[in-house]
Amino acid sequence: MSISFSDLMVALKQALKSGQIGQPVSVRFRLVAPSEFIPPAINELMQLISNYLPGFEASQANGGRFRLQSHPSGLQTNVLILSNHGPSVSLTWVPATQQPTSLKLLVIGNHGVIRLEEEVEPNWQIPTGESPEIDWYHRFVSTGEQSQPVPFPGGKSGQAPQNGPN
């Protein structure tokens, strides 16, 4: 069965808003998709995380840090995000043209689990109505691999910069 990316995001929003899993503790996201779809998908998911997960609000994001690791082949990238006030988040993306586009999402809460694991509809698109407040994908990849976790950027009211690092 295939599902649209938008439908997955709606299902996740509803589950988080309802509190059916309690307080989120950990989020794991894995995306296999053509390269051009990865940045908007990462930005959309991070926008959802910052809107619905405690500890990722703009006022608290200043207390977090992240670390990026890429496989030497460039075929897989992982970002581990740790918030001082919320769940840990692991984002993994695999640019692929030979594999079917798929999405795996696991949200672990203190009272339950949300698991979405589907092939995504062929020729899927990320809605492009609004540009993201923060270009998270660019922020992640522009830091490269660091020996220490990178702090979430600070700015006015704890806001991250619009397009990557300062």
**Domain for residue 164, yes or no?**
no
Residue 68 lies in a domain: yes
Residue 4's pLDDT band (boundaries 50, 70, 90)?
Answer: low
Residue 38 phi/psi, 5-degree rounding, is -70, -50
Whether 158 is in a domain gets the answer no
Number of helical H runs and strand E runs in the chain: 3, 8
**Which carries the bigger pLDDT value, residue 97 or residue 62?**
97
Residue 155 lies in a domain: no
Q: Are 109 and 63 in contact (CB under 8 A)?
A: no
**How far is it, in rounded angstroms, from Cα 134 to Cα 60?**
15
Which CATH number covers residue 119? 3.30.360.10
In a domain, 160, yes or no: no
The answer to whether position 10 is within a domain reads: yes
Separation between Cα atoms, residue 55 and residue 26, nearest integer Å: 12
% residues pLDDT > 70 (the chain):
75
The string of pLDDT tens digits covering residues 113-159 is 988 887 766 666 665 555 667 788 988 888 877 777 787 653 333 33
Q: What percent of the chain has pLDDT over 90?
A: 17
**How many distinct structural domains can be found in the chain?**
1
- Give a yes or no: residue 119 inside a domain: yes
The whole domain housing 71 covers 2-150
Mean pLDDT of all residues in 46-73:
75
CA-closest candidate to residue 46, choices 151, 138, 113, 119:
138
Confidence of residue 93 (pLDDT cuts 50, 70, 90): very high
Q: What is the DSSP string of 46-70?
A: HHHHHHHSTT-STTTGGG-EEEEEE
